[in-house]
């Protein structure tokens, strides 16, 4: 059952080791003005973006110590888990991007303190939820950043160069997964003059890939699910075998590989085997955006760059954080939209977006997945 009372005071916390900010002064002003909410914030909230505390104060918020924010807030918003058990107040509501499907061990602290928890990365990918879709926001930036990052690592140029001294051929890029991140990677690479191939298990992705000027490669026999919400689903062993062989053959001629394939709630599919890496051209680059979920590349290590047989492999599922101002602008709109929607929802018990994103209420599991997986027998 979802809480009926609306939060009157919202506390905004900094996220250690993450320069992104979940609410900027522009949206804070709308929260205090349009929604009549009291906003408390931690000093230095926007320092990573060169935003002074004074800008938040001018927007109607109050700057207070972290412990005071916890004590006086009905709802705490942050990027992810940013607090210790000592700081938590019983019965508080927490809103963030907690990636609970892969970090469910961190949920025990909320349950112990009878918290209500909403994780925005659980929102369904529907028209109604578009303005709150933090995953699409961050994945789009990650796809863009992956190409820029690859261009910095790769020892060559993206477009064709024709000069009196000779011709430089364009770089060849293979993108694995044509979701939000993959499509943005394709679009960015094409703008820079690269030749791009893209793979996705979903046949429907082919039209979007081709519209961006890339070549679509596919394996016949994909199994779809009407309950997948537009995401890919796990495939048969035979399909996976054919898939790996197809990818291997295309990797042989690629200079850069951007892998973005994920399946919600499951380990990322293994698409790039060690044998494929060892067969790549020397100086090639792999950017694995699925590294936090186990990686699409067999050799990926999250938050690390390794060199294997002359191939640079960068595993990072948080590349959006490397362009924090752009990321914060999108997140701030996402968070504001969710808070506004939540406040105005007429029947929160049956609301499709609130029930989909809520993990627990007052320490009791409300999300079907977590109730089934984590509830004691």
- List active site positions: 125, 130, 133, 136, 231
Query: Sign of the CA dihedral 128, 266, 317, 86?
Result: positive
E strands present in 25-105:
38-42, 62-64, 75-77, 93-96
CA atoms in the 13 A half-sphere facing the CB of 256:
27
Residues facing residue 308 across a β-bridge: 311
The answer to whether 279 touches 248, Cβ cutoff 8 Å, is: yes
CA gap 166, 323 in Å, rounded = 36
CA gap 116, 342 in Å, rounded = 13
Residues facing residue 42 across a β-bridge: 64
| 265 backbone φψ class: left, alpha, beta (φ>0; ψ -120 to 50) | left
The answer to whether 175 touches 185, Cβ cutoff 8 Å, is: yes
Among 58, 93, 62, 57, smallest CA distance to 77 is for 93
Dihedral angle, C-alpha 107, 113, 115, 121, nearest 10 °: -20
CA gap 217, 199 in Å, rounded = 5
> H or E element: which one contains 306?
strand 304-308
CA gap 377, 368 in Å, rounded = 15
User: Given the DSSP bridges, would you call strands 116-119 and 358-361 parallel, antiparallel or unpaired?
Assistant: antiparallel
């Amino acid at each position: 059952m979802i809480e009926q009372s609306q939060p009157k005071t919202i506390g905004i916390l900094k996220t250690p080791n993450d320069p992104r900010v979940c609410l900027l002064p522009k949206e804070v002003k709308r929260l205090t003005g349009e929604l009549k909410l009291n906003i408390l914030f931690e000093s230095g909230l926007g320092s990573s973006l060169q935003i002074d505390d004074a800008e938040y104060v001018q927007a109607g918020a109050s700057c207070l110590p972290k412990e005071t924010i916890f004590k006086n807030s009905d709802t705490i918003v942050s990027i992810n888990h940013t607090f210790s058990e000592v700081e938590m107040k019983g019965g508080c509501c927490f809103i963030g991007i907690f990636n609970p499907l892969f970090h469910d061990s961190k949920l025990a602290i909320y349950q112990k303190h009878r918290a209500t928890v909403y994780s925005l990365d659980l929102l369904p990918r529907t028209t109604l939820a578009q303005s709150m879709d933090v995953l699409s926001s961050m994945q789009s930036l990650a796809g863009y950043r992956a190409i820029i990052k690859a261009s910095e690592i790769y020892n060559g140029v993206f477009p064709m160069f024709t000069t009196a001294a000779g011709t430089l051929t364009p770089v060849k890029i293979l993108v694995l997964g044509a979701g939000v991140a993959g499509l943005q990677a394709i679009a960015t690479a094409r703008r820079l003059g690269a030749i791009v191939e893209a793979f996705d298990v979903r046949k429907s992705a082919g039209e979007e890939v081709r519209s961006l000027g890339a070549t679509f490669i596919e394996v016949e026999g994909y199994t779809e699910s009407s309950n997948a919400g537009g995401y890919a689903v796990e495939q048969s062993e035979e399909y996976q075998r054919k898939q790996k062989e197809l990818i291997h053959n295309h990797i042989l001629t690629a200079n850069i590989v951007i892998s973005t394939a994920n399946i919600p709630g499951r380990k990322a599919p293994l698409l790039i085997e060690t044998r494929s890496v060892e067969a790549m051209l020397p100086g090639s680059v792999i950017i694995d955006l699925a590294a936090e979920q186990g990686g699409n590349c067999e050799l990926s290590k999250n938050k690390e760059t390794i060199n294997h047989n002359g191939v640079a492999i960068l595993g990072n599922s948080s590349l959006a954080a490397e362009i924090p101002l752009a990321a914060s602008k999108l997140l701030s709109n996402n968070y504001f939209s969710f808070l506004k929607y939540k406040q105005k929802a007429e029947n929160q018990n049956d609301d499709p977006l609130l029930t989909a994103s809520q993990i627990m209420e007052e320490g009791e599991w409300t999300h079907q997945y977590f109730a089934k997986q984590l509830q004691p027998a």
